[in-house]
């Protein structure tokens, strides 16, 4: 008989609630506990799934085999470190940490203890379903727009680490390249960046969380045509002669396209059960963090009011 995996969710906010729903829907997996420093939030979310609520993270770890960390970004490193030291598998939402040295510590600890460390860069599942990672040549140009209205969420970090980092991870995976030159401008809630990669691909990124019209698009220009994603409406247009791998019409669309969060949760549970390498590794998260911090630095974004975001600690 297959052992049921017990997964706890740390963070009972909006995104933590999404994660609770996805875990609760999985077979051979139990949502075992919900943790939050706010007892009312923890209890409200836990009651929806008839599971215990905890305000003590250690007590939560006692109830689970693995944990999904959907707490504010400033807590990602501390909670992931504690969970890995306790022998628990970890799915941590992006960014993996707020400093490169912290990310390195988490990666090394997971490797030492033989634990899964997965990072929540879910947009790459959409490109994987399309088959873009199988193309022999990378795009010559990539344009990304990621705008949303003000919600008050995730404002412990800049818009680069909150929104733009989704596109950063996907660009890294699509190109396999490194940054050759970067220019950027903006402030904590809106930023634009231009990158030249060492393979010749040019990239523009625009992110804002003060825009009244939500928009999440990525346009990939290839030598033989264009592929354009609308991540909000879950549509993709393709003018290249290469057909897309999957059908995206209604009930025939793969889960990785229609609900990448659910797909990522299932992938995490599968990696834990089999002891496999996760879909998005700690090293992947670390690379995306590196690019994001370089863009912040180029833009001169000042988050000095946050003790976790001083330049010295972030680049350590």
CATH number (domain holding residue 15) = 3.40.50.720
Encoding tokens for residue 62? 């006692």
Q: In this structure, what DSSP letter does residue 301 have? A: -
132 and 235 share a domain?
Answer: yes
d(CA 314, CA 316): 6
The confidence score (pLDDT) of residue 316 equals 42
Residue 90, in any domain of the structure: yes
121-163 pLDDT, tens digit per residue, is: 999 998 898 888 988 899 999 999 999 887 777 678 999 999 9
44 and 137 share a domain?
Answer: no
How big is the CA angle at 122 (ends 232 and 218), to the nearest 5 degrees?
45
Residue 225, in any domain of the structure: yes
146 and 294 share a domain?
Answer: yes
129 and 109 share a domain?
Answer: no
Q: Where are the alpha helices (DSSP H) in 219-300?
A: 255-258, 260-274, 282-299
Residue 316, in any domain of the structure: no
pLDDT in tens, the chain (316 residues): 468 999 999 999 999 999 999 999 999 999 999 999 999 999 999 999 999 999 999 999 999 999 999 999 999 999 999 999 999 999 999 999 999 999 999 999 999 999 999 999 999 998 898 888 988 899 999 999 999 887 777 678 999 999 999 999 999 999 999 999 999 999 999 999 999 999 999 999 999 998 878 999 999 999 999 999 998 888 889 999 988 887 676 677 889 988 999 999 999 999 999 999 999 999 999 999 999 999 999 999 975 433 333 333 344 4
- Number of domain units in the chain: 2
In 219-234, which positions are buried (b, 16+ CB within 10 angstroms) versus exposed (e)? bbbbeeeebebebeee
130 and 239 share a domain?
Answer: yes
249 and 131 share a domain?
Answer: yes
Residue 48, in any domain of the structure: yes
Residue 314, in any domain of the structure: no
36 and 177 share a domain?
Answer: no
The residues, any chain, with a CB within 8 Å of residue 25's CB and separated by 6 or more, are 262
**Domain that residue 107 falls in:** 5-122+263-280
Q: Is 312 exposed, middle or buried (0-12, 13-18, 19+ CB in 10 A)?
A: exposed
Residue 313, in any domain of the structure: no
49 and 80 share a domain?
Answer: yes
114 and 128 share a domain?
Answer: no
Residue 219, in any domain of the structure: yes
148 and 115 share a domain?
Answer: no
Residue 77, in any domain of the structure: yes
243 and 168 share a domain?
Answer: yes
28 and 55 share a domain?
Answer: yes
pTM of the predicted model as reported, rounded to 2 decimal places = 0.92
Where residue 180 sits, what CATH number does that domain have?
A: 3.30.360.10
Residue position matching structure tokens 């350590």: 316
């Amino acid at each position: 008989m297959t052992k049921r995996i017990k997964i706890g969710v740390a963070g009972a906010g909006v995104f933590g609630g999404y994660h609770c729903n996805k875990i609760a829907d999985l077979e051979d997996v139990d949502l075992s506990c919900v943790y939050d420093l706010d007892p009312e939030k923890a209890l409200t979310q836990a009651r929806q799934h008839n599971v215990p609520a905890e305000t003590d993270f250690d007590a939560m770890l006692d109830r689970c085999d693995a944990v999904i960390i959907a707490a504010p970004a400033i807590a990602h490193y501390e909670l992931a470190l504690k969970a890995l030291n306790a022998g628990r598998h970890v799915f941590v939402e992006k960014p993996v940490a707020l400093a490169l040295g912290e990310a390195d510590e988490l990666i090394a600890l997971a490797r030492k203890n033989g634990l899964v460390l997965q990072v929540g860069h879910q947009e790459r599942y959409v490109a994987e379903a399309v088959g873009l990672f199988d193309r022999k040549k990378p795009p010559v140009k990539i344009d990304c727009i990621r705008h949303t209205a003000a919600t008050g969420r995730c404002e412990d970090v800049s818009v680069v680490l909150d929104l733009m980092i989704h596109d950063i991870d996907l660009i890294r995976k699509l190109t396999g390249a490194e940054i050759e030159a970067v220019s950027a401008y903006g402030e904590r809630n809106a930023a634009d960046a231009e990158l030249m990669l060492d393979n010749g691909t040019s990239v523009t990124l625009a992110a804002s969380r003060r825009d009244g019209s939500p928009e999440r698009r990525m346009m990939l220009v290839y030598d033989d045509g264009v592929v354009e994603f609308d991540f909000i409406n879950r549509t993709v247009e393709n003018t290249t002669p290469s057909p897309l791998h999957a059908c995206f019409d209604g009930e025939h669309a793969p889960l990785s396209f229609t609900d990448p969060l659910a797909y990522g949760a299932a992938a995490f549970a599968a990696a834990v059960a089999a002891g496999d390498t996760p879909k998005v590794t700690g090293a992947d998260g670390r690379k995306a963090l590196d690019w994001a911090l370089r863009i912040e630095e180029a833009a001169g974004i000042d988050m000095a009011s946050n003790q976790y975001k001083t330049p010295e600690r972030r680049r350590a």
